[in-house]
Chain A
Amino acid sequence: MPITETHEIHHRRLGRNLGVALCLAGFVGLSFFLTISKLRNGGTIEGFDYVPQPEFTVGEGTE
């Protein structure tokens, strides 16, 4: 059911709603560029402090 009736609270909360919308949009943008940056720099999402996972590397050169 569409909201047909506007209430005074809609005006009062406009600033809050816009603020939250901007934060969410900013977060979406940041996640996107973070992903692009991670993929460009080495192609894995793993930080250097992660233990290398042998299952992804063994097999190379043994074939």
Chain B
Amino acid sequence: MSDFAANTQTQEAQFGDYVALLKPRVMSLVVFTALVGLLVAPVGVPPVVGIAAILFIALGGGASGALNMWYDADIDRVMKRTRSRPIPAGKVTPGEALSLGLWLSGFSVVMLGLAANLFAAAFLAFTIFFYVVIYTMWLKRWTPQNIVIGGAAGAFPPMIGWAVATGGVSIESILMFGLIFVWTPPHFWALALFMNSDYDKAAVPMLTVTHGRPHTRRMILVYTLALVPLALGLGLTSIGGPVYLAVSAVLNLAFLRGAWTIWKRDEDAAAADHYAVEKKVFRLSLLYLFLHFGALLAEAGLRQLNMGGW
């Protein structure tokens, strides 16, 4: 009975708090891109295997989210956006988050290996390692290029999905990686332009703070320029097609125009209209990624009907 008494803390963690440790919103992006990677691959996968593989990839992503929250609890406490996360809110202890993250990492990698293949499992393990150790522990607090490096972790899921089906890597999966990888910096820096005071307080080196806002605006344009050939190039591979290329052309034009406007503006103009352009480009960037992968999926669907592709 004394054990019961010791456990009566005021902040009882509910199941949802443990789910929140897995960053469900990031997970949904992982599920979507990994699913596209899996479905557009030239090799078919039995439905149950596909569902299981996506589930374990999502779980691996969730595990790295929990490990990230365990390590970053100190800065999450300082930032307004992250203050209500389970650890800073006092609902889940850091030790619990660490053990949940480690167990789920091992579990998801082993299960992906059994459900799909060893290459995909190794790839998932590498992704978790990359996000937790390379990004969270090492580079996030050290270099303003943190967003660029962190983007790589978010860009691996479609490659893992592709690896589940084919067991390897190809130009198509590398270009899908490249699309998310180069998309991430302009996406995040647009966000940072209109809400960076948080990162100041937490002493996380954001480009807007270390190199100034004009430089960030220039970098948004530079990365967007680099993104265009990757996005269009993907349309020329075996998984692309006329539909993808048409969608991509429109989206790239819109994104380029937005990046150009951001570059041309100065802080006074941005402050005057409460960062309307930056917010618009941020929303556009979300649509940009979603529609690119949606178009890849559409091409795969059309190919089933002998209509898509080249």
Contacts and interface: CB of A to CB of B under 8 A. Distances in A.
Contacts of B8: 8-9
Contacts of A7: 4
B304 interface: no
B46 A41 contact: yes
Contacts of B13: 16
Interface residues of A, number: 24
B15 A18 contact: yes
A49 B119 contact: yes
B161 to A, nearest CB: 15
B167 A48 contact: yes
A47 B167 contact: yes
Interface residues of B, number: 24
A18 B136 CA distance: 32
A12 B14 CA distance: 8
Nearest to B113: A47
A49 B167 contact: yes
Interface in B198-256: none
Chain B binding surface SS class: helix
B214 to A, nearest CB: 49
A11 to B, nearest CB: 10
A9 B47 CA distance: 41
Which of A8, A16, A18, A48 has the largest count of B CB atoms less than 10 A from its CB?
A16
Contacts of B4: 7, 9
B12 A38 contact: no
Given A34-B49, A49-B167, A13 B116 contact: no
Given A19-B15, A20-B15, 17 more contacts: A5-B1, A8-B8, A9-B4, A12-B12, A15-B15, A16-B14, A16-B18, A18-B15, A37-B48, A38-B49, A41-B46, A47-B116, A47-B117, A48-B167, A49-B117, A49-B167, A50-B118
18 contacts: A5-B1, A9-B7, A12-B12, A13-B12, A15-B16, A18-B15, A20-B15, A30-B48, A30-B52, A34-B48, A34-B49, A37-B46, A37-B47, A47-B116, A47-B167, A48-B117, A49-B118, A49-B119
Q: Which 6 A-B pairs have the closest CB atoms?
A: A19-B15, A47-B117, A37-B48, A49-B167, A49-B117, A16-B15
Interface of A: 5, 7-9, 12-13, 15-16, 18-20, 30, 33-34, 36-38, 40-41, 45, 47-50
